[in-house]
């Protein structure tokens, strides 16, 4: 990254003359000087040049996911020269990996792990576990799986002076 950083910056500067580079201490000083927390929303407000602006109440989290597991077949070949598939089926009990679901209490999440027993690992996009093993019978499908998962969060607004 050391060599590429300078080349990338030079190309960016040629395309956009107003572009600038910042060292690690510059954003921290701006953040602490304006009393901002260290999160993505505060970083975006600081970068915009108006760090004291009122933040939005809604924040959208996004996460890119792969389409499938990379290894298609097991390394060892079975007798009869058959290759054993390394991938699990696309659907398990009607649910797909990274599909959006609603749990009994109204909580929403995404399927991060499936088991052949029918219990699923449901998590939020930030990786926080909602349920380590909940039956597929208790889940309600919400969203089909896409390459980019989007989750709406509601921020707690700080009191303004």
Q: Are residues 148 and 100 in the same domain?
A: yes
- Domain presence at residue 160: no
Q: What is the pLDDT of residue 135?
A: 92
Q: 102-151: per-residue pLDDT in tens?
A: 999 888 899 988 888 889 999 988 888 898 999 999 999 988 888 788 88
**Domain ranges, residue 77:** 63-152
Distances from the Cα of 58 to the Cα of 101, 125, 144, angstroms = 20, 15, 22
pLDDT tops 90 at residue 154: no
Q: What is the pLDDT of residue 123?
A: 92
Q: 87-108: per-residue pLDDT in tens?
A: 778 888 989 888 899 999 888 8
Q: 17-30: per-residue pLDDT in tens?
A: 988 877 777 778 88
Q: Are residues 31 and 107 in the same domain?
A: no
Q: Are residues 83 and 147 in the same domain?
A: yes
- Domain presence at residue 15: yes
Q: Are residues 33 and 72 in the same domain?
A: no
Q: What is the pLDDT of residue 76?
A: 81
Q: Are residues 46 and 111 in the same domain?
A: no
- Domain presence at residue 91: yes
Q: Single out the residue of 159, 154, 127, 128 nearest to residue 59, CA to CA.
A: 154
- Domain presence at residue 161: no
Mean pLDDT of 23-41: 78
Q: Single out the residue of 77, 43, 74 nearest to residue 59, CA to CA.
A: 43
Number of domains within the chain: 2
Better-predicted residue by pLDDT, 73 or 161: 73
């Amino acid at each position: 990254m050391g060599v590429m950083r300078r080349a990338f910056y030079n190309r960016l500067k040629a395309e956009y003359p107003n572009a600038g580079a910042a060292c690690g201490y510059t954003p921290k000083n701006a953040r602490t000087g304006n009393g901002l927390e260290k999160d993505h929303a505060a970083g975006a407000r600081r970068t915009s040049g108006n760090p004291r602006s009122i933040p939005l109440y809604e924040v959208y989290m996004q996460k890119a996911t792969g389409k499938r597991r990379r290894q298609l077949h097991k390394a060892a070949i079975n007798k009869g020269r058959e290759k054993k598939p390394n991938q699990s089926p696309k659907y398990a009990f009607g649910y797909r990996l990274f599909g959006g679901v609603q749990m009994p209490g109204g909580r929403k999440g995404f399927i991060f792990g499936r088991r052949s027993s029918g219990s699923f690992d449901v998590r939020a996009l930030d990786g926080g576990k909602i349920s380590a093993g909940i039956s597929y019978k208790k889940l309600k499908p919400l969203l089909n799986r896409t390459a980019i998962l989007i989750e709406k969060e509601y921020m707690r607004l700080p009191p303004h002076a």
